[in-house]
A and B are shown apart, each in its own frame.
Chain A
């Protein structure tokens, strides 16, 4: 499940020199072409040491880029306070933050954002929208500085996996809304650690490709977090319909 997108990243730079290395925007090359490219690349890698070494080097470079993005910003805490330090990390990654009683601060398409939040020393951050950001386990160090976070959106984050979810428990007192929709590495094993978040009121677990049985997982998560509205999967999904039942509408009465 994690394999296809990772190998995509390494295929593109080798063969389509015109495209950039970052292809987060989705593949444009048709499927058949990709398969041919992938096997050609594999063939070359198996026969030439140079190609193998080059591919290894490119992979290491990708990984060190992600590490660089997730370096620690906790040193900013003494000077500017934890909320500004955490907000700076999110904004640098390309996410958006909302301080209490203030508007959303988003970076524009060039990555620039207004520096007004450096003055908000005592104002806690209420909501973070880290969709499509490259946050990983180490980067969560910075996110966990935001002790009074109420809403967190980690939609489509490529590096958020089960280990990261096990780290969210310090936010248990304040976190009320969490969205994990579209994260390719989150599975039901990571969802099991969300039981610490007892104040959670809304959890979005739609479109998780690594979850083996979405309908059953939805039921188990609902049982685990009784006060929380779990959104995203129809519990009837995956059930075999009898011959007399017809799927008229997908909304099940339990989720009304």
Chain B
């Protein structure tokens, strides 16, 4: 018996038989009539390759996706994947937001972003038109913002209003007498000056914007995936700066997206990652190795964005201010606005640093309203002395502990991670402008329409604060 060169014993013969049965099984499964289970079902997993991966599917992430697809030079030129951990958006800042938009900032860049967002919202049915879908109704209330200032803040408010008027915002200053004339329900005790936004300011429904963006972005061909980003696989390169210092530049090559309630993950090969994870951006940045280094160096500068919990209360006051009420922001930091036709109001107050609630969960502290919000409201609007709280909720601010302004643009060391986060409470109203700026940065290499260089990451290392004086 001649063997064909291979040492086949009894074991080898059994092996051959097994192989034959395997081949038979394969042929049977390929032939029509039986279910083909050659390839496992991966329809729930994200695609294996994507040009841009956006971590975070809130209003900022969707805005960046929209502008990337809108400004691409060729249809289908960029493949975008949006990864969102929570499909129900139960903790996302967008859905829980009060939905206000105003131009009353001290930084010209913030004013320009807000102005552009106002024109985006005004023409939303041209920007986000999808055939077959009904037009969007944002439920915008153009009632404006009324900011009150005490004696010590009056000079700052005056100079802010000057800057706002220069940028094109329609804001006017009012003295306490004019305030009493126009809004008789207000008590001007302690108010030295007020600034009132007349146009392009008000509040709207953030869910509608989110749904509209989602619909449009899906129709433009952006992939959506529900999953959590657990790992970045990157490669490093040593380079010398002009001063002959060694820097290690990293480039992210793969994003590992883990599915919900399972250990399964998909490595997505990508060339650009956008961090739009809102309150959880610092975790994503830490995954990419930002902040892992000796403190005081560029490698050791962490992303200073952390979640801060803010409460919003809804109350009913039958004798409260009328239909013309703007969103009033008091000298104490308390704010309120009307909600609907039925004498309902909603509002809240930013706590001071020492009283910051624990951002572990979204439980509401009702005592905060009783002790810290109601007294200031009742002082400002005497009608609010009798009111009844109907409901309340809490949401996160993606709070930038450095200077309470957003972080936009690429990281100096992890060269293909772009940030669009850290807006500390005004992310919703600046989302369209910021989305466009990030898309321009990616596609053209620099900011084309609004120059957001003061918002780059470098400032955390260099220590240059772009402070905003008018936060709420």
Find chain A residues with CB under 8 A from B322 CB.
220, 223-224
The answer to whether A165 and B341 touch across the interface, beta carbons within 8 angstroms, is no
Residues 198 to 257 of chain B near chain A (Cβ within 8 Å)? 198-200, 202
Convert A1-40 into 0s and 1s, putting 1 for each residue whose CB lies closer than 8 angstroms to a CB of B.
Answer: 1110011000000000000000000000000000000000
Contact (Cβ within 8 A) B134 A163: no
> What total of A-B pairs shows CB separation below 8 Å?
72
- Residues from chain A with Cβ under 8 Å of B129 in the complex: 56, 59
Contacts of A169 in B (CB 8 A): 198-199
Q: List chain A residues, Cβ under 8 A from B199.
A: 166-167, 169
Whether A179 is near chain B, meaning CB under 8 Å from some CB there, is no
Given A195-B324, A223-B322, check contact A52 B140 (CB 8 Å).
no
Question: Chain B interface secondary structure, helix, strand, loop or mixed?
Answer: loop
User: B466 on the interface (CB 8 Å rule)?
Assistant: no
Chain A nearest Cβ from B320, distance in angstroms: 12
Partner of B323, one of A42, A63, A220: A220
Known contacts A59-B131, A166-B199; decide if A195 and B142 are in contact (CB<8 Å).
no
A70 within 8 A of B: no
Complex formed: what's the CA distance from A214 to B304 in Å?
A: 49
Contact check: which of A1, A2, A212, A224 meets B341 at CB < 8 Å?
A212
Chain B residues with CB under 8 Å of A195's CB are 323-324
The minimal Cβ–Cβ distance linking A217 to chain B, given in whole angstroms, is: 7
**The stretch of A127-135, A147-155, A185-193 that contacts the partner chain:** A185-193
Residues of A within 8 A of B202 (CB): 166, 189
Min Cβ gap A146→B in Å is 18
Contact A192 B135 (CB under 8 A): no
Q: Restricting to A178-214, which residues have a CB under 8 Å from any CB of B?
A: 187-193, 195-196, 212-213
Once A166-B199, A212-B341 are accepted as A-B contacts, the answer to whether A224 and B132 lie under 8 Å apart by CB is no
Q: List which A77-109 residues lie within 8 A (CB) of chain B.
A: none
- Interface size range on A against B: 35 or more
| Residue A72 lies at the interface, judged by CB distance under 8 Å to chain B | no
Q: List chain B residues, Cβ under 8 A from A6.
A: 135
Residue B141 interfacial (CB < 8 Å)? yes
Known: A2-B135, A63-B126, A213-B341. A192 touches B140 (CB 8 A): no
List residues of chain B with CB within 8 A of the CB of A188: 323, 341
- Cβ contact of A191, chosen from B135, B137, B140, B323, cutoff 8 A: B323
Check if A231 is an interface residue, CB within 8 A of chain B.
Answer: no
One digit per residue, 1 when the CB lies within 8 angstroms of any chain A CB and 0 when it does not, for chain B 325-343 equals: 0000000000000000110
The A interface, classified by DSSP as helix, strand, loop or mixed, is helix
A141 within 8 Å of B (CB atoms): no
Q: Do B131 and A45 touch across chains, with their CB atoms under 8 A apart? A: yes
Decide: B323 and A163 in contact? CB cutoff 8 A: no
Residues 139-154 of B, flagged 1 when their CB comes within 8 A of A and 0 if not, give 1111110000000000
Interface residue? B28 (CB, 8 A)? no
| B122 CB–A CB distance under 8 Å | yes
Interface size in chain B (residues, C-beta < 8 A): 23
Given contacts A59-B131, A169-B198, A137 and B341 within 8 Å (CB-CB): no
Q: How far is the CB of A133 from chain B (nearest CB, A)?
A: 19
User: A235–B453 Cα gap in the complex (Å)?
Assistant: 55
- A10 vs chain B, min Cβ distance (A): 8
Residues in B whose Cβ lies below 8 Å from that of A7: 134
Minimal Cβ-Cβ distance residue in B for A211:
B341
| Bound-complex Cα distance A224 to B140 (A) | 19
Centre residue among B122, B132, B198 by max chain A CB count within 10 A: B132
A237 to B122, CA, bound (A): 31
A105-137 toward B: CB 8 Å interface, digit per residue (1/0)?
000000000000000000000000000000001
Distance in Å from the Cβ of B341 to the closest Cβ of chain A? 5
- Minimum Cβ distance to chain A for residue B439 (Å): 21
Q: In the complex the two chains form, is A193's CB within 8 Å of B132's CB?
A: no
Residues of B with C-beta under 8 A to A187: 139
Task: Return the chain B residue nearest A165 by Cβ.
Answer: B142
Contact A224 B122 (CB under 8 A): no
Taking the complex as formed, is A221 at the interface, i.e. its CB lies under 8 A from any CB of chain B? yes
Cβ of A163: which chain B residues have Cβ within 8 Å of it? 122, 140, 142
Does A229 count as interface, using CB distance less than 8 angstroms?
no
Shortest distance between the CB of B141 and any CB in chain A (Å): 4
With known contacts A45-B132, A213-B341, A189–B142 Cβ distance under 8 A? yes
Please determine whether A55 and B131 come into contact, CB atoms closer than 8 angstroms: yes
Are B142 and A162 in contact, CB atoms less than 8 angstroms apart?
yes
Given A187-B139, A224-B322, list of 12 further CB < 8 A pairs? A1-B137, A52-B131, A163-B140, A163-B142, A166-B198, A167-B199, A192-B143, A192-B323, A192-B324, A193-B144, A216-B341, A216-B342
Q: List 5 A-B contacts (CB under 8 A).
A: A163-B140, A165-B142, A166-B142, A187-B139, A189-B140
